[in-house]
A and B are shown apart, each in its own frame.
Chain A
Amino acid sequence: MGKNKKCIVVTVIGKDDIGIVAKVATAMAENSINIIDINQKILGDEIFAMTLLADRVKSDLSLPEITDKIKASIKGMSLEVTVQDTEVFQYMHRV
């Protein structure tokens, strides 16, 4: 990860619906968060799971604030949002 980046992982899980990716991406763009990579799949037949790597170096928001913005963008849909610093995955999954 470059020194001038502050990378986060956004995870969205829940009931599949139209426009989830668009809404989340828009909320992130509006808050100056740059998406680096997206991975989206449907688990089983209906569980939507998206993991998204992004850089928040240009955003002034704290992680709880970013979580709230994304949650607000998909309000009313049955989805869970988690936003974490990438280091937690680095630590847990890499030796």
Chain B
Amino acid sequence: MKFSSEEILETIGMIAEDKLDIRTVTLGLSLLDCSDPDPAACALKVRNKILAKAANLSKGADFIANEYGLPIVNKRISLTPISQIVPIAEPSAFIEVAQAVDKAAAEIGVDFVGGYTAMIQKGVTSIDKAMIEAMPEVLSTTDRFCASVILATTKAGINMDGCYTMSKVIKDTAERTADRDGIGCAKLVLFCNPVEDNPFMAGGFYGAGESESSILVGVSGPGAVRRALEKLGPEADMGEVAETIKKCAFKITRAGELVGKKLAAHLGVAFGNLDLSLAPTPAEGDSVGQILETMGLAMPGAPGSTAALMMLNDAVKKGGLFASSSVGGLSGAFIPVSEDASMIEAAKAGAITLEKLEAMTSVCSVGLDMIAIPGDTSSETLAAIIADEMAIGCANNKTTAVRIIPAPNKKIGEFVHFGGLLGKAPIMPVSQVSADTFIKRGGRIPAPLQSLKN
């Protein structure tokens, strides 16, 4: 036979037992031709474009999933940042367009849409202001439309006014969705150095340099990596561990590339790129934290977690890059707390803290992700947490992000429950030491030096 039974059974096992899946196929869609100074006309143009271009996305993805036996969990759309499309400095205009997007997505069976996005790393325009003002309303009245705001880049520095503004937006959004534990905040990501071809939500948007439309695939398989490491046993040294992760990442990436290319051809759209990210889900075994445990840490958060995560993130990228020439997006390991069974346990036990998570984000994809904190955390403290995370990305020339939920009326140790892929999280303690005066200074932290880096 062309393939050995072992190879075939390995693939079957990776899918059935280790939860290897295509996390998302995301259709990147340019909205640059939908701009209109009349809000209703703009909303209609956006709606029509989504319906015209993405109508077959869901059905096509199901067809390809059946053909290759690889589950596709989510179908999503990422749009041109809406702040560049709606040329009206009125919050009501943004609400109208956002609701049109949400409705269109629901009609064609798309799970999430990204692109309620503003780029304010250097400062705000009157349009950005209106768009951000409408954000709590948009996040609390739509189900699928995800927001992101770029607060910092290595070339621009950190917009500290933006950090403060967004901390208030987060608090407002949490209050407006208090009946659902502040779930609105789970659809809002704050970025430093974002990528413009990210298929993952809530931080996906379709950047200015992208083509008219393309298929972006996000593939995930922390379970498969863990299984491969379990087989390796506790005696193997870290070089062997890294090698095993690379090989596993290679196979996962190839599966994603196959699906991406076939779906793109099926829909008659260009294949954009593949994002190989170990993205956990609350399902048992589908956990990045458990990979760290298999490496020999009693729980994620233990001393050594940063070193282990650095190796994991790097090995995933190396395996992925060899497997495909179309690797893009974030491509690394995600450590969202609420979406990972092992991270939830570690947070509950106090093994992992906000501070340790912050350190770990300096060596892996993304950042402080899906973390629940007490609802009475002040806007100033929240802004300072955001600024710290932006600083890690800014100084290290990498993407970092914050997706944090100040859960209304919840105290440390209590749980928030979001359900589905978003999972549940214990409320984690936040430092009580004040940063009020620092945050109220505002302004912009200048771009960091790119040489003499010691």
Q: Which residues of A contact B (CB under 8 A)?
A: 1, 9, 11, 13, 37, 39, 41, 49, 51, 53, 62-64, 80, 82-93
Contact = CB atoms under 8 A, between A and B. Distances in A.
B438 interface: no
A82 B69 contact: yes
28 contacts: A1-B2, A9-B3, A37-B1, A37-B2, A49-B5, A51-B3, A51-B5, A51-B8, A63-B66, A63-B67, A64-B66, A80-B16, A82-B12, A82-B16, A82-B69, A85-B67, A85-B68, A86-B3, A88-B69, A88-B70, A88-B255, A89-B2, A89-B11, A90-B2, A91-B255, A92-B11, A92-B251, A93-B251
Nearest to B251: A92
Given A62-B66, A64-B66, A84-B69, A53 B1 contact: yes
A89 B7 contact: yes
B356 interface: no
A65 to B, nearest CB: 10
A5 B35 CA distance: 48
A79 to B, nearest CB: 13
B127 interface: no
Interface in B238-255: 251, 254-255
A7 B11 CA distance: 17
A39 B1 contact: yes
A92 B254 contact: yes
Chain B interface extent, by class: 20 to 34
B452 interface: no
B446 to A, nearest CB: 46
B9 interface: yes
B255 A92 contact: yes
A9 B5 contact: no
B9 A51 contact: yes
B44 interface: no
Nearest to B63: A62
Given A62-B66, A63-B66, A93-B251, A88 B11 contact: yes
B261 to A, nearest CB: 9
Contacts of B254: 91-92
Nearest to A88: B68
Nearest to B4: A39
B5 A89 contact: no
| Chain B at the A interface: SS class | helix
B196 interface: no
B7 A93 contact: yes
B206 to A, nearest CB: 26
B442 to A, nearest CB: 52
Given A11-B12, A91-B254, A91-B258, A84 B5 contact: no
A11 B67 contact: no
Contacts of A87: 68, 258
B447 to A, nearest CB: 42
Contacts of A89: 2-3, 7-8, 11
- 10 A-B pairs with least C-beta separation: A84-B69, A91-B254, A37-B1, A91-B258, A88-B68, A51-B8, A92-B251, A51-B5, A93-B7, A89-B3
A84 B255 contact: no
B172 interface: no
B181 interface: no
Given A82-B12, A88-B68, A39 B5 contact: yes
A39 B68 CA distance: 20
Given A11-B12, A91-B257, A92-B251, A86 B66 contact: no
Given A84-B68, A88-B258, 20 more contacts: A13-B12, A39-B4, A39-B5, A63-B66, A80-B16, A82-B69, A83-B69, A84-B69, A85-B67, A85-B69, A87-B68, A88-B11, A88-B69, A89-B2, A90-B3, A91-B254, A92-B7, A92-B254, A93-B3, A93-B7
